Structure 1
């Protein structure tokens, strides 16, 4: 007598197949999109954009966060006060924290948090502000 182990997932798949739930699926009998083509490292970004209906300029949140970090000085230069700069940095650091633990869509990121004191010092320097705050 032959016994085989059927996991719960295997059982659910088998039962769904027996009920015909895999019949007439969209794309049945058609080749997989991109099959036989050259490998594209950004396949998942393009797939995400297409699924989400995003235009060419839209990035997943974790990639948009990287861009936001790269443009930090230009963004904070538009802030009217040190308090506004600190609030912006705090919000940015919260987004970075979320991205680092996988709570934002897109590829994982290892961006370090931003040092608010350093950012404020650069902001003050570019504005010609010196001395006590």
Structure 2
């Protein structure tokens, strides 16, 4: 009996909202439901959330696989760091994450080892030297381009001998 009264109240509120036009012009109105013809996927809401929020799918990986991905991407991550100390700090932070996981491993049993700081720094140095040599070789033959000077003339100040139409007087 109580449920019937509650349902009647809710239905009355919905009808009143429809009459006021609160359900008109909603986004997606008159369009087909996306993914209706696709087979059922249990993780549809996770996939739609990742797409909608533009999050990387790496967040779904277990911790050891995330750490291995970070180790693989280490050269690209440290390539643009300005100093050796910054590279060492980045590798130290990654090693701290790895050690924290090794103390209390969760997820699948995947071998993850700390990164050798000296090897990472040596690779960073060699990539910087190669990039510097390539940059010097590419930029050395170019001569500096001469920028044309721009002259500004105020309309009420004309050069001596210039006519109102913007023409120079011609010698006859």
- Bigger Rg over Cα: 2
State TM-score, norm by structure 2: 0.40
Higher relative contact order (CA 8 A, sep 6+): 1
